[in-house]
Structure 1
Amino acid sequence: MSTTEEIRIQKSDSRSNVWKELIKVAKPDSKFHFNFAEFIADFEGSSNATKQFKTHEWYKNSKLLFITPDNCLEELRYEALKDGKTILITTYGIYRGFWLLEPSKIPKERYEYASTLDGLEKVARHITLQNMIDEKLCVDVMITGTGAINYQGIRLGKGHGFFDSEWAMLYTIKAINKNTPTVAFVHDCQVLDERMTPEVFDTVCDLIVTNSTMFQVDSIAKPTCGIIWDVLDKHMFDTIPPLQELKALNLPVPE
């Protein structure tokens, strides 16, 4: 068995163990119920996580946040809009690409609606990778939910690799760099003691925010490999337009 296969088996086992505890504090999704393989759940105390992160200098000093479309980050998206911050976000599964939520272009009474997955596309602006390059978009902080994370900042998502792909795409077009901070929102029960070895494309997190605490981890280098086309799942390429666009742009990956 290869090292890569061993890592993936370890991740799968860890996810299953966390999900047994997560279901006790998770909020069901309207579509996926408690199927944690299909969505990142909101959880009891996520409002506390949002309040804590809003006190962090990374949040206070930011102008443009990338926030994944995870359930546990809906309140953060709402708060960010109220605070005048622009949000870069993808649709579920990145199927319809990237969108920009610009608070100056959204009526304030629609901020809460705009922060939801059902509402964002009705008020946000669709933005391509080429648009981001032309507009010199610069993301200050990358924020994600995740299935589990350890004290090294190594994430265990749903197993699809969406956040890793989002990082790789934004890194390749220079909207972020290897020093761009990454933040994970999780419940306490999703934080693991076990040590793991990240794969070359794993986007580790610098800050972990939970329902009860917030702490930075010892830094691990972020991926600088971009999309590894030879190992990219064909279904992801076929269903994610920005990946197809990036392939066509044929850009060199920054060093």
Structure 2
Amino acid sequence: MSDIDEAKQAVRDRVWRRLIAGGGAPDDSYGKIPGFYGNDRAAERLAGLDLWQRAATVKANPDWAQLPVRIRALEDGKLLYMAVPRMASMEPFYEIDPNTLTVSAEEAADKRGAAQVARRLGVGTMRPVDVVVCGSVAVNRSGVRIGKGAGYSDLEVALLIEAGLVTDDTVIVAPVHGLQVVDEDIPETEHDFSVDVIVTPDEVILCTGRRRPRGLVWSDLTAEKIAAIPVLAARQASRRRS
């Protein structure tokens, strides 16, 4: 583990412990994207923002913390994208169209329901994304965020950037509990992206330190990670042939 990885893990550890001790999330939240209390109020606050009301397409993580946001997206008539768990498919995204649903928004927005009713697709057939909703463990007021350390959010955003689907016009949002917002610096690496807006159950924080990679950072990917994600393995093979 690098020094940056150790520093990130130290931030995660502090935030998980503070969040649980402060009653902001269930006791089993350590090591996860926290399913924080008040996530429904954070979703309602997000839905009141102009950036949300203008959006036609939303990409959101499948974590429980973002379930109210995913439900609200479908209820508001927005096309919803979710990642296939662990991106374990050559078509690594689900597309859920509110106009063709045969089940409730609550069922379709749940990751188990999405697996049953959503269409799987690759980035080549997706529409541009207006709002990215990312699960986070910690975020500071400059917009620097960290997840639980698996790196899937970074890969998903990088793929969408390379495909021209996440652009400078796309807004990246982190719905979190107030106890997940830290005042300290959070270390960053080349593949990390920052968020533009933090939404808690009690406030909206506009961030000014936008940072996004240009796409996949191959030097940061291990052979094991590439082999485990079919779309990365295929791209690596194509790179070697070219």
Supply the AA of the counterpart residue of 1:19: W
Select 1:9's aligned residue among 2, 6, 11. Answer: 6
CA distance in structure 1 between the aligned counterparts of 2:138 and 2:41, rounded to whole angstroms = 18
Q: Counterpart of 2:25 in structure 1: which amino acid? A: A
Distance 1:205 1:119, change over 3 A: same
The 3-state SS of whatever aligns with 1:43 is: coil
Q: Matched residues, percent identical?
A: 29
* SS of alignment partner, residue 133 of structure 2: strand
Residue 234 (structure 2) pairs with residue 240 (structure 1): no
Q: Give how far 1:182 is off.
A: 0.6
| Residue 113 (str. 1) matches residue 107 (str. 2) | yes
1:125 aligns with 2:119: yes
**What is the CA distance between 1:215 and its match in structure 2?**
1.2
1:202 to 180, 192, 195: 192
* TM-score (norm. length: structure 2): 0.90
1:231 aligns with 2:225: no
* Cα separation, 2, equivalents of 1:26 and 1:91: 25
Which residue of structure 2 aligns with residue 31 of structure 1? none
The aligned amino acid for 1:102 is D
- Given that residues 17 and 30 in structure 2 are in contact (C-alpha distance below 8 angstroms), is that contact kept between their aligned partners in structure 1? no
Q: Distance in 2 between matches of 1:198 and 1:178?
A: 20
Q: 1:41 to 1:35 in 2, by over 3 A?
A: closer
Gaps of 5+ in 1: 29-33, 251-255
Counterpart AA for 1:58:
L
Which one of the candidate residues 40, 49, 68 is aligned to 1:47? 40
Q: Distance in 2 between matches of 1:106 and 1:244?
A: 33
- Tell me how many residue pairs correspond in the alignment: 235
Aligned to 1:101: 96
Residues 118-138 of structure 1: CA deviation (Å, up to 9, x unaligned): 110111100012333xxxx21
Take 2:224 and 2:50, find their aligned partners in 1: how far apart are those partners?
Answer: 38
1:6-60 CA distance string (max 9 Å, x none):
32222111110111122232247xxxxx2533x3121111111011000111110
In structure 2, distance between residues paired with 1:196 and 1:20: 17
Relative to the length of structure 1, the TM-score reads 0.86
User: What is the aligned partner in structure 2 of residue 190 from structure 1?
Assistant: 180
CA distance in 2, matches of 1:44, 1:221: 28
User: Which position in structure 2 is the counterpart of 1:154?
Assistant: 144
Distance 1:129 1:249 in 2: 16
Equivalent positions of 1:28-107 (< 5 A) are: 34=28, 36-37=30-31, 39-96=32-89, 97-107=92-102
1:171 & 1:248 partners in 2: Cα distance? 20
Q: What's the offset of the Cα at 1:105?
A: 1.2
* Structure in which a larger fraction of residues adopt helix: 2
Does the 8 Å CA contact 1:114/1:123 hold for their aligned counterparts?
A: yes
The superposition leaves residues 106-154 of structure 1 with CA deviations (integer Å, 9 ceiling, x where unpaired) of 12x421101101110111100012333xxxx210111111011111111
- Matched letter for residue 235 of structure 1: E
Verify the 8 A CA contact 1:36 1:147 in the aligned structure 2: no
Work out whether residues 190 and 217 of structure 2, in 8 Å CA contact, stay in contact via their aligned partners in 1.
no
Deviation at 1:248, TM superposition (A): 5.1
What do the CA deviations read for 1:197-230 (whole angstroms, capped 9, x no partner)? 4222111001001121111011323211x11223
